[in-house]
Amino acid sequence: MRSVVIVNAGTGGQASVIFDACLAAEMPVAGWLSADAQSRNPAAALNRLGDLSLLDNREFVAQFAVIVGAGSAQFRRTLSLKVLGYGGVLATVQHPAGTLSRLAKIGAGSFLAAGSVVGVHASVGRFCIVNTGATIDHDNSIADGVNIAPGVHFAGNVQVEEDAFIGVGAAVAPGIRIGAGATVGAGAVVIRDVAPGTTVVGNPARLLHKRAAIEERP
């Protein structure tokens, strides 16, 4: 097993949660990277190995399995694809207190936190976050880069497109599609499809605003 390197976005929160899950799962962790030496250390016991330029070093990338600890979908996607482009490996981290069905799939570079549940025939893409206590029920399809916050609950047959963000405690009814780059606000109850690039809030969820354009994803 390659030792894990955690990329810290700066605040250290998500990186800390990933490090804790690695400890619980007895996954070896070599250290962390960040753009700035002043970035918050995810854990006192974890050494900063250097800055993000190390991800451009093929020899470095070849030694480790990398996971990006950041809430930003763009940050996770950009750095994860860089690692893959250099022939590197992305670490997939699951806290042992999370539940992943044997009939579910999860992509490289994704993270399943404590208390998370990914149900039967569900599919979670690459560099996703399924955070603490979030539940993904049967036959869900979660595309690359999606961030599912703590306490979110998806019913069956939900489809979430790339880089969407689902806020804390949101609930999504069966058969709903959430578009690429969409944001579902904290505590929202989603009973209708959510268009790409839009933000919905409330119970039932209603449109708050729409971005002018959706960026193309590689």
Q: How far apart are CA 184 and CA 37, in angstroms?
A: 33
Sheet of strand 153-154: strand arrangement: 99-100, 117-118, 135-136, 153-154, 171-172, 189-190
Contact 156, 137 (CB under 8 A): yes
Q: How far apart are CA 158 and CA 141, in angstroms?
A: 6
Q: Which helix (H) or strand (E) holds 66?
A: strand 65-69
Q: Which of 95, 121, 138, 153 is catalytic?
A: 138
Q: How far apart are CA 128 and CA 107, in angstroms?
A: 8
Q: Is 138 a catalytic residue?
A: yes
Q: State the catalytic residues.
A: 138
